Structure formats: structure tokens, C-alpha cells
Structure 1
Amino acid sequence: MSIIDIAAQIVKNESSESSDDNARTIILAGSKSVGKSHLLYSFLEKSDTPRETLVLEYSFGRKSSQKQSIDKIICHVWEYGGRLEMLKSVLTSIPLSKKFYYCVMVDLSKIKTIWDTLETSLQAVKENYTDTSNFPEIIIIGGKYDIFKNYDSEIKKFICTTIRSVALIFNTYLLFYSYKESHLLRKAKEMFYTIGFGTGVPLKEKNTNYAKPLIIPKGSDSWDSIGVSASTLEQVKLRHQSRIAPENEIKLEVKPLQRTHPEPILDSLVALKYEELRSMETYDPSIDEHLILLQ
């Protein structure tokens, strides 16, 4: 069985033992090697050392409830570590509970990748979940703040302006994080614990000073506070890229996979397997032609 098959069965089994109101789903996506696994391991209190997430990994946490009518609360956790271009197709295969949180972690230490991570990750969730009754709460997490805090003050201000603008447009929560700084790790861990087993996103305090770690609750920011005129996503993108050009990477063209199976989830699993092959260090680009012939 594939990872999604096994995880889906766990979700089904666990959900049958709890009501929809007491099952939560957390999806964490974003930059590679930014500390996603470390944060989740801390939240789930895993003692082993995090390993690299190549494509998609599932885990869950369980907490007994103090209410007599409820035995436990289940939190399903999905971490995506593959290429962001594949994220949209992966999201369609993840089973969801009624309470659903979508977290995007961007690497603040790699300023040339910030825009692509934000745009791709947020557009993927916007296009996949069009049902407003089950649209997730979105949280943007700026990772590796321990490095970012030492950058030039003008660069920090500019990056914070971009991220705050995107968070305002998508109506998200925002906080900066580093597992190397204990108070930031504690704050992020507490937030995950509350969305996983509590009543929702607990961010109440607010800091918009770019000289300190940002923490901005949803709906509490404004264009006047950010210091720019009201903007569309495209205008924010143009403003950002006018100063910080995208990272020049040679990207292999990933040809779209044709549907060849009777169930859509099988096509998603095939796409995941191909993505896993492409992520291997020994991957030979010429294998793309072979993969297409197998469709």
C-alpha cells in the first residue's frame, strides 16, 4: 500500500472513533529544508531526529478530552516536501476533517525564493478548495528567522512588506519562527498544539516592527499600517520582483500526466511516484521520456 492509502485508512479508522468536530487536519508545505519536520516533531513530541521529507509524509496526534461526552481529539498532520509545482495535484488526494489548517513555511534566509514559495503554495490551496464552508485557516510561517534577523535593515523591511501584503490579500495569520531560538520555537509549538487540539489559531499578540519577529493575527493588518497603497497580488509581485529578481534556476519541464486510471487518486499516486524519482540525486533527466511512454 502507498503512503496515502495507509494514511487514508488511519484517518478513516480514527475518524470513526471521534466526531467531525473533534478531528483536525494540518497540512504543512513550503520551502525545502526550512525546518518543517523539526517543527512538527516538536509539536508531536517525537524524540527521533527529523529526516528529509522527499514528497509527502503523514502522522497524527491524539489527545484525551476533559469533556465526558468526548473520548479524544484526533489531529491528522500532512507534510509536503516535494516540488511546489506538484503541490496542487497532491492536495486533491489528502483526506480532510471538518477543521482544516493550511500552513506555508517560507525560508527567510533565501530571499530570492520567497515569492515563488508564497505564490505557488497559496494559489494551490485557493484553486483546490473553492468551497467556502470548508476553506482552511491559512498560516504563513517565516522560517530561519535566526539568519534573517542579521540581514540589512532595508532588506528586512522590504521582505516584511511583501509578506505582510500577501498575508493581507489572502487573509492569513503570520508569524516568524526559528527552531534555534527557544522563545520562537515555543510560540510556534503552542500555536500548533492549539490548532491541533484546542479551539483554533491562538495568535492574539501583535508585532509589525520588522526589526523583531513578525506576529500578526488574521484581519488585524492594513495597507496603511504596512505603508503601501492597496494592491492586488500582481502589483505586489511586480513591486517585489523589481527589487529582488527570482532565483535563476534551470527547471526541468514536467510534462502533465494523462489520466490513465479509473480513480483520480491513482493518477495522483503515479504523479507522486514520478516526482519522487525526479527528486533522487541520481535522477537522469532523460528518464522523463521513458515515464511518458509508460502512460
Structure 2
Amino acid sequence: MPKTSDTLWDLAVAEVRRRESGGGEGEEEEEGEEAGPGERAVLFLGSKGGGKTTIILRCLDRDEPPKPTLALEYTFGRRARGHNTPKDIAHFWELGGGASLSDLIQIPVTVDNIRTLSVVLVLDLSKPGVLWPTMERLLQAARAQVDRASAELLKVGEARAGQIPSRRGLRTLAKDHPDRELINPFPVPLLIIGSKFDIFQDFDSEKRKVICKTLRFVSHYYGASLIFTSWKSESLMSKTRSSVNHLAFRTERGKTVSTDHNKPLIIPAGMDSLSQIGSPPMTDVGLGSLHAKNPLDLWKKVYEKLFPAESAGDPGDVRDPARDPQYSEAEIDSMRAQKDQELEQYKRNASKSWKALELDSRRH
């Protein structure tokens, strides 16, 4: 508690020391940032055709038809907190192609924005066989790049304790939460969106239950927020928009919580628990015979017993978008083929040259 004799300077010094010591965990400013206007970055990842672009357009109040995202696209939005106040700026990055272009994550995740970065993972609920592989690959790629940027930040000495992403992840759960030592929070704020709920709600009840429990566990394990949505429901899109804007513009977080698998899930980070989620659904072989390395791996094995992993089967599986048949151009493709041949010939010649140099160096 501040003393009545404290000057404004004393209060400012105390606040700076509190932030540098990593104090205030579990408070609303969970990322250890200042409350004033600023710039933030939001990276959208997820299923191909899952609705990422539609969600971004809704968040930015843009009434235009969404177009397929080929690789990596950027846009931004501004929002004022009140009259005559500076506007916050949010940088939106969207990775297309499902999990096939995950290497491009290194472009938007950098040392410059790592302290204000959030990730939104959009998963297509109508394709449960593709859901886990997409989620796993993208989150692994994103986490690896966040770790690299964080290491670089520490190397240049610009990070304080509360700004290091690995420390920020711990703030998703209250200090007295029973699962605090049992989860592995994502290093930056993470929002998981299950899209196409209008199709998902017609699934068999048991299938819905398994998918809901699995996504609840994954979200809780990573300290993420979880919400189901559908572009056909204005109410769900409004709640989704609110969740994204909380990350992008630090607007107030929604208070709604819904864990009923017969309804759209809405669970803010830190509002679920392992005891409420329960154990993985039993399989024909039983949990005891599944050799899992950790709780996340156990849920994966159970989920894939019920929903075997499928290939996304989309053009994104071709690593080079230039080979996508929907963008074929006869003359350009012919020229590209010629250049590819020239490149391969150059590689062969260069390889011979290097081998010759190596042999020559050994002789001497």
C-alpha cells in the first residue's frame, strides 16, 4: 500500500521495481505491458479454409468477401480507447495453407514484436481427422520461433523479467490454481477457435463430446482461451470478435463461460481445470496399454484412436505454392520449368566444383 507521504516519483519508482521483479502475476495486464496505447501483433494460424480471413475482417469491421490466403498476408487495424486519445495499432498476420507453410512463421515472429505478440489458432471442427495434426505442427512451429526470438531478446539484453515470453505464459493461471504446476503454458497469449460449429453441432453426440473434451484439455494445458464459432451465427461471431480484440486492442475480456459439449464452448484462459475436464475418453484397448510420454501425448493417442490422422489433402501440401494447379499459366509454367532445369544443372556443376576443390585441398 502506498503511503500518504509518497511523492509521485516514489510511486513511479515502486511500480517500475514491481514490474521488473515480475510482480502482479494473475492480474489483467498478464503480459506485463503498460496500460497505455501501443502496437501489438496477432498471428493467425490454422486449418486451410477454416475461416481465418473471415474472422480478421469481422474484427476490423470490413464488409468484404474473404479471399483464399496463398501464403502469408498482412493487414492492420486502429482503435481509440476514448475521445481525443491516441489510437492503438494491431498488426494482423495470417498464415495460409494449413500446416504446410509453417516455415513462414519466422517472418512475423521477431525480436521486435515478441513482447506484444499473441497467437490465434483456428481449427476446422468439421474435419476432426485433420484437426490434431494441424494443431500440433503449427503450435510446435510457432513455439520454436517464439523461443528463438526470446533467446535473441535476452542476448541483446532488452528483456525484463515480466517481458520474457516464457514468464508471460505463467500468468494465465492464478497463483492458487490447482493445475498451475501441471500445465505447460504457451509462451505468448494463445486463443484457440473451433470454426464451423454449424456443421459440428450435427455430429454424433459422443463424437462431439470427445472433440470438446480434447480441445478443452489442450487449451487448458497450453494456458489458452477456447471458443467455438460459426460465420452463420452473428452471436458467436460477435463473441469471437470480442476474444480477438482482447488480444489485439486489450479490450475487456468476456465473462461468459460455457463447457457444455452440446453448446458452443467458450472458456477464457485459466477458467477451466483438469478435474472438470476429466480423463481421456476410454478406448477399446484401454488407457493402460497406451504408452504415452506425457499427458498431452496420452490425449493425442486416445484422440487418434477415435479419429485417425488424415492428410489435409489440399494444395498446401505441395510445399511450393508456385506449383499449385489452380494458379497454372502455360507460358509462365514453361519458363519456370526451364529455369528449374537450369538451376538443377547449376547445382550439379557447383557440386563438382566443390568436390574438386576439396580433393585439391587434400593434396596440398
Partner of 1:114: 131
* 2:86 pairs with 1:71: yes
Relative to the length of structure 1, the TM-score reads 0.76
Residue 41 of structure 1: which of 47, 54, 57 is its match?
A: 57
Query: Is the Cα–Cα contact under 8 Å of residues 50 and 122 in structure 2 kept in the other structure?
Result: yes
Summarize the Cα distance change of 1:224–1:178 in structure 2 as closer, same or farther, 3 Å threshold: same
Distance 1:249 1:59 in 2: 26
Percent of aligned pairs sharing the same letter: 30
Query: Is the Cα–Cα contact under 8 Å of residues 145 and 177 in structure 1 kept in the other structure?
Result: yes
Distance 1:249 1:206 in 2: 31
Query: Is the Cα–Cα contact under 8 Å of residues 203 and 216 in structure 1 kept in the other structure?
Result: no
Runs of 4+ more than 4 Å apart: 248-252
Residue 84 of structure 1: which of 99, 103, 106 is its match?
A: 99
How far 1:161 sits from its partner (Å)? 1.5
Residue 191 of structure 1: which of 236, 243, 246 is its match?
A: 243
Partner of 1:152: 204
How far 1:46 sits from its partner (Å)? 1.4
Distance 1:78 1:33 in 2: 16
Distance 1:20 1:234 in 2: 41
Distance 1:56 1:249 in 2: 18
Matches within 5 A, 1:132-151: 133-134=164-165, 135-151=187-203
Amino acid at match of 1:276: P
SS at match of 2:193: strand
RMSD (Å) for aligned C-alpha atoms = 3.1
Matches within 5 A, 1:252-291: 275-281=320-326, 290=340
* 2:298 pairs with 1:235: yes
Summarize the Cα distance change of 1:223–1:194 in structure 2 as closer, same or farther, 3 Å threshold: closer
How far 1:22 sits from its partner (Å)? 0.8
Distance 1:251 1:280 in 2: 11
Query: Is the Cα–Cα contact under 8 Å of residues 130 and 311 in structure 2 kept in the other structure?
Result: no
Instruction: Render the CA deviation track for 1:255-290: whole Å, top value 9, x for unaligned.
Output: 9xxxxxxxxxxxxxxxxxx73214443679x96x93
Query: Is the Cα–Cα contact under 8 Å of residues 100 and 137 in structure 1 kept in the other structure?
Result: yes
Residue 32 of structure 1: which of 28, 48, 56 is its match?
A: 48
Instruction: Render the CA deviation track for 1:231-259: whole Å, top value 9, x for unaligned.
Output: 5221111111111111156799x89xxxx
How far 1:223 sits from its partner (Å)? 2.0
Gaps of 5+ in 1: 1-18, 256-273
Summarize the Cα distance change of 1:158–1:21 in structure 2 as closer, same or farther, 3 Å threshold: same
How far 1:215 sits from its partner (Å)? 0.9
Query: Is the Cα–Cα contact under 8 Å of residues 21 and 99 in structure 1 kept in the other structure?
Result: no
Instruction: Render the CA deviation track for 1:44-98: whole Å, top value 9, x for unaligned.
Output: 1112211111111100001234386x522111001111241321x2121115533
How far 1:176 sits from its partner (Å)? 0.4
Partner of 1:221: 272
Q: Which sits farther off after the overlay, 19-28 or 42-51?
A: 19-28
Summarize the Cα distance change of 1:50–1:129 in structure 2 as closer, same or farther, 3 Å threshold: same
Amino acid at match of 1:141: I
SS at match of 1:45: coil
Summarize the Cα distance change of 1:248–1:192 in structure 2 as closer, same or farther, 3 Å threshold: closer
Number of equivalenced pairs: 254
How far 1:204 sits from its partner (Å)? 2.7
Gaps of 5+ in 2: 1-34, 151-162, 166-186, 281-291, 348-364
Instruction: Render the CA deviation track for 1:172-198: whole Å, top value 9, x for unaligned.
Output: 110101110111011111222232222
Query: Is the Cα–Cα contact under 8 Å of residues 64 and 72 in structure 1 kept in the other structure?
Result: yes
